[in-house]
A and B are shown apart, each in its own frame.
Chain A
Amino acid sequence: MDVEKTFDVHRIREDFPILKQVVNGKPLVYLDNAATSQKPQVVLDEMNRYYLEENSNIHRGVHFLSDKATQSYEAARKKIRNFINANDHREVIFVRGTTEGVNLVASSYARRFLKEGDEIIISAMEHHSNIVPWQMLRDEKGVKLRVIPMNDNGELLIDEYETMFTNRTKFVAIVHVSNALGTINPVKQMVNIAHRHDVPVLIDGAQAVPHMRIDVQDIDADFYTFSAHKMYGPTGVGILYGKRRLLEEMIPYQGGGDMIKSVTFEKTIYNDLPHKFEAGTPNIVGGVGFGATIDFINGIDFDAAIAHEEEVLGYATNVLSDIKRVRIIGTAREKASVLSFTIDGIHPHDIGTILDDDGIAIRTGHHCAQPVMIRFGIPATARASFAMYNTKEEVDVLAKGIHKVIEVLG
């Protein structure tokens, strides 16, 4: 099927005003979507509208505006619930982003239920945000971390993973799509394996949600967390999905307003889900913007957008593979969005600067995944990461830029 017929990338680009920008005299080629994606006009408009017409605090006012704001915020929660197919909107908790989602589960679930000597399984391709919270817990409680290894293509060794479970294994925390390698992990299968050992699983979905349809019930994830800003929404807001049974057992993450039913100096009764985990005035406009983001995605042919992204990634992989001295880092069979690479003898930081001179935005560095860099024996990579609005023409500009890097630095 020719995806360009059902998905008009040039039409979609019109929805993202920032893409018209000129950088260093060249049209912006934005290939840093794994860091954060750009935002469509409709999301910006909705956030502006909220501030112009509804701004007030939620869940507490009897007045008109507070009621409107609460409705908008809670409507967003329900849209997100439908988008990820959660069973119940009370299982959808607003957080600041994926990092906070992981920290919430580490604090409110793992700290409560895990004991010294218990084991947590993570993977070799985790982002720092799905390593450090568990290390903090290790240092505090004496739990152990076990790491699923990966092969040279950047694929987790699922057979090894299966053998890692012991009667002390109490939690699994894994990334759905690697931000450094692009690998799509077989999370449904991995959850199934963990559940055979009665172990709950948290999935870091930050890089997955923008690039594939997520059904948390189909995956059977116990926790699934992601950020709005990587999926065309605003920064500072994200979601922790959790199964209701687990969320009910957990202790609150932070204390404050909105997360209580009643407070006296003797006793506090916590609020029901999801508010039990949402202390204080939240990022209301972020939530409303997130709702608009879901509307935007639902308003396009998302499956065709995904197919288009796959085509662009495949094209980029071929084009860059053909350039002498370029090495692609992360060659898993199942990949999404991310193309990490190095150029023999040239440091990624220099690649980034020279590409920027041509208006090409990529990420260079360790991508907050230093263990991945160590695994591949490199200090850093250059990373192009694609979104639905990227084109093959932009890949050609990138390839031309890489030739220029080699020409300038020799």
Chain B
Amino acid sequence: MSALRELYQEVILDHNKSPRNFRKMEDATRTVEGYNPLCGDRYTVYVKFEDDMVKDVSFEGAGCAISKASASVMSAAVKGKTKAEAEALFAVFHKLVTGEPDPTQELDTLGKLAAFSGVSEFPARVKCAILAWHTLYAAMESNEEKVSTE
């Protein structure tokens, strides 16, 4: 049960039940759809940029507890950050969920994102945890309107 409790931590259960920033954004700068064909998770991520800053993030869609909580925590975490800061956060988060070693103790900077540490024990769930992040990344770095984890 312990690995399971590590996976479904309180923060994740809370954000799954009551996702933050879970709404459509009418005046978004970029709207990108993220899709995991393996399990059917599908989210639309809305981002409003102000110059180089992520002014606002919201999302809509449906999927498992891990993917929904991840999108919710992400939306709160990157709001007000610069694109570069958001990308750096994604890089550290990616290390966390894939279980990469952390010699520089970057993981300490993650705040609530650290709740996803248990994901690394469940390789099949890594894609769930990073779906929203991939979608956000596409919104920041490309012109694509859809991303897929496959």
Footprint of B on A, CB under 8 Å? 346-350, 353-354, 357, 364-366, 370, 373, 379-380, 408-410
Contact = CB atoms under 8 A, between A and B. Distances in A.
Contact of A347 (B1, B7, B63): B63
Nearest to A381: B40
A361 to B, nearest CB: 12
Contacts, number: 54
A365 B40 contact: yes
Contacts of A379: 39-42, 62-63
17 contacts: A347-B41, A347-B62, A347-B64, A349-B125, A350-B8, A350-B66, A353-B122, A353-B124, A357-B1, A364-B39, A379-B40, A379-B42, A379-B62, A380-B40, A408-B4, A408-B8, A409-B65
A349 B131 CA distance: 14
B40 A373 contact: yes
A409 B17 CA distance: 9
Nearest to A346: B65
Interface in B1-56: 1, 3-4, 7-8, 13, 16-17, 38-42
B128 interface: yes
A347 B42 contact: no
A366 B40 contact: yes
Nearest to B127: A349
Contacts of A354: 4, 8
Contacts of B63: 347, 349, 379
Contact of B16 (A364, A365, A370, A409): A409
Nearest to A370: B40
B39 A410 contact: no
A357 B3 contact: yes
A349 B39 contact: yes
B46 to A, nearest CB: 20
Given A353-B125, A366-B40, A373-B40, A410 B13 contact: yes
A344 to B, nearest CB: 13
Given A347-B64, A349-B63, 7 more contacts: A347-B41, A350-B66, A353-B4, A357-B4, A366-B40, A409-B8, A409-B13
Contact of B65 (A350, A357, A366): A350
Contacts of A357: 1, 3-4
A373 B37 CA distance: 13
Contacts of A408: 4, 8
Nearest to A354: B4
A186 to B, nearest CB: 30
Contacts of A365: 38-40
B65 A347 contact: yes
Contacts of A366: 40
A346 B68 CA distance: 11
Interface string B97-119: 00000000000000000000000
Residue of A350, A354, A364, A379 with most partner-chain B CB within 10 A? A350
A350 B68 CA distance: 11
Nearest to A378: B40
A382 to B, nearest CB: 11
Q: Which 8 A-B pairs have the closest CB atoms?
A: A347-B64, A379-B40, A349-B64, A380-B40, A349-B39, A357-B4, A350-B65, A350-B64
A353 B66 CA distance: 11
Contacts of B40: 365-366, 370, 373, 379-380
Contacts of B8: 350, 354, 408-409
Contacts of B39: 347-349, 364-365, 379-380
Contacts of A347: 39, 41, 62-65, 68
B62 A353 contact: no
Nearest to B65: A350
A92 B49 CA distance: 63
A366 B63 CA distance: 12
A207 to B, nearest CB: 21
Contacts of A410: 13, 17
A347 B1 CA distance: 19
B126 to A, nearest CB: 12
A353 B7 contact: yes
A380 B64 CA distance: 10
Contacts of B1: 357
